[in-house]
Amino acid sequence: MGSGAADPDKPSGTVEGMAGSTVADLVGRVLAGRYRLLGAIGSGASGRVYVADDVRLRRRVAVKVLHAALAEDAGFLRRFRSEAQLAASLHHPNVMAVYDWGEDGVPFMVLELLAGGSLRGMLDRGTRLSPAQAAHVGGQVAAALEYAHSRGLVHRDIKPANLLFDEHGIVRVADFGLARALAEASWTEPAGTVLGTARYAAPEQATGAALDGRADIYALGLVIVESVTGTVPLVGDSPLGTLGLRQASAIDVPESLGPLAPIVARACAAEPADRYATADEMRAEIADVAESLPPPGSLALAGLGEAGDDPHPTQVVRPQVAPPLFDQDEVAVRPTGRLPVTVANVPRRSRSSAPLVMIGVIVVAIAAVAFVLARPTAGATKAVPLLIGQNKIDAQQAAFGAKFLFDFEFRRSDDPKGFVISQSPEPGGFLAEGSAIHVVISQGPKPIAIPDVVGKTEAEMHTLLDPLFVPHIIPTTDEAVPAGQVIKTKPGRMAQPDAAIDVYLSTGPKPRVVPNVVGKTFDEAAALLKQNQLGAKRGDEFNDTIPVGTVIRTDPIAGANAARDSAVFVIVSKGPDIVVVPDFKGKTIEEATALAATAGVQVQASGVVGAKHAVKAQDVDKDTKVKRGTIVTIFF
């Protein structure tokens, strides 16, 4: 950390020279004329995260500012824009929301501000998760991965620093798409850091092969091990050494994981084919194991620290030397010796006070016994399970399974609809069996008006709906609305912010089935096609078997689909192709051959043929009508 001296040419509170980072401290700067950076809360190889004020919507957000050097990398910026848009389209209770992104001298992303800190922060404080807590967190992460994988997005960098918690202990997966964008950057990272942190990388990442969701599953297995034990399995002296170890052998799963051990062993198999095929398959097995474990209890969240709290956001204060930032990519170094134990000084009582103290103890003991004997008999006292973050059905089942009643109410909030946002008593407290746990279930944000997009084009619809909702296009035939225009939306008038909106987009009228008009006259065929809202275009051709004026076939054929009002080709018979046999007598072979070609017949010579010889006779008389191509024998 720098000395903290303010630079007179920079906004108040700006600090330069952050150790281990190439990102300048931007405290006080307003990005894109909207996001005022208040304080840094995290730093890593890719950039720095700030608490910020969204001055337009008047809310607190987190802003991740990437390295300034990346702003000069055209390849990175192209991938960054694409990946940021894709990440912003993800809407899931366990995926960090991306509100905005842009470039203002440096690339940045605007994210939801989560007050609970990261799993990395918890582990660096010495906090370890129980197997039940690890199952609770791992199941949520697996659900987020399944959601993203189903949309073709692989995270590539699952690690404790990218698993953050809100104030209710619900985990969010951060940085979707960022690892892929950075992978294409030509910029070299500081201090030899490895993109897609090698400590959590799957073995196949060393081969350069295309990665799929099974690489994320491998990383999640390693995170679960570290969350319980505090260490990451199979880590070598270098990134390549680590990947080499993982290619050579499977991880040794610690017994302390309990029933999670078989799940982690499969998730961290060296061969991708031996792992779970999908994250949802892993989530289902974690859920099965969680039922056999005790309630997870509340998590000791790390929190944001002082940067997250600004009691006087409009007051300008003198810059102070900030504590070292938490580096999300740095391997934590923990003290090897024991921390000194602080013993409180207890003031000595005089001898004369001892009898009074004894009398007080006896009175309190008698009162406690009387209270226990007098109170009504209650059921066994049990620990209250963690219900926050679960949906209503799961929370109710968890309460009943722990032999508690379930009492609930609904309340509007920014949390996802249908999820428990608070409970009383709090998790980890004690309550008599049969007593009720009262929970508050989110109704989601207050509904807002849906812009009128009926009759708009698809591009116009996206311009109106994308900032507020997630449009889901449903192609629909319509007799009145032209193709490419919106027919309706569902819901039609109001919906919660960021809700999925079904947009029915016209593909034009329903296709018509071409009727069978073979054997009819052209006029009859045209009339029948008109009844089916189709036109008719005539074509004629010779046919040896179909009478003249009769329809031979149509294009498209009968039974096929054709666009309404489109023309169907109707092929009508002209009957056989008839020609007249010419007179070949007196002609030389050359003259006879040329005459036959002109007339549409063929000749076959018989007798002595030569330049001075002429045709004496023919087997088909002249002026005879025959089919085109008939063979006429000529005699020399």
Residues with catalytic function: 157
* Rounded Cα gap, residues 327 and 43, in angstroms: 5
- 3-state secondary structure at position 600: coil
Q: Is the peptide bond before 471 cis (omega within 30 degrees of 0)?
A: no
* Rounded Cα gap, residues 435 and 404, in angstroms: 5
Q: What letter would DSSP give residue 572?
A: E
Question: Which residues, including other chains, have CB under 8 Å from residue 315's CB and lie 6 or more apart?
Answer: none
* Rounded Cα gap, residues 70 and 105, in angstroms: 10
Q: Nearest Cα to 42, choosing from 299, 330, 284, 431?
A: 330
Residues for the chain: how many in total? 636
Question: Which residues, including other chains, have CB under 8 Å from residue 629's CB and lie 6 or more apart?
Answer: 600, 601, 602
Q: What tokens does 114 get?
A: 């989560």
Query: How many CB atoms are located within 10 Å of the residue 420 CB?
Result: 25
Assess contact for 140 and 286: CB atoms under 8 A: no
DSSP-derived pairing of the beta strands 436-442 and 405-411: parallel
* Rounded Cα gap, residues 569 and 581, in angstroms: 34
* Rounded Cα gap, residues 493 and 508, in angstroms: 24
- 3-state secondary structure at position 292: coil
Query: How many CB atoms are located within 10 Å of the residue 520 CB?
Result: 18
Q: Is the peptide bond before 254 cis (omega within 30 degrees of 0)?
A: no
Assess contact for 585 and 533: CB atoms under 8 A: no
Angle (CA) 203 204 206, round 5°: 80
Q: Which long-range contacts (CB under 8 A, 24 or more apart) does 8-17 make?
A: 12/316, 12/319, 13/317, 13/319, 14/319, 15/319, 15/322
DSSP 184-203: T--PPPGGG--SS-GGG--G
Please compute Rg for the chain using Cα positions.
40
Query: How many CB atoms are located within 10 Å of the residue 108 CB?
Result: 26
DSSP helix, strand, coil percent of the chain (3-state; round to 5): 30, 20, 50
- 3-state secondary structure at position 552: strand
* Rounded Cα gap, residues 51 and 70, in angstroms: 21
DSSP 314-356: T------PPPPPPBTTSPP---SSPPPPP-PPPPPPPGGGHHH
C-alpha distances in angstroms, 531 versus 528, 564, 626? 5, 11, 41
Angle separating helix axes 279-290 and 213-229, nearest 10 degrees: 30
Strand partners, 171: 165
Enclosing H/E stretch for 366: helix 354-374
Question: Which residues, including other chains, have CB under 8 Å from residue 242's CB and lie 6 or more apart?
Answer: 198, 199, 201, 234, 235, 236
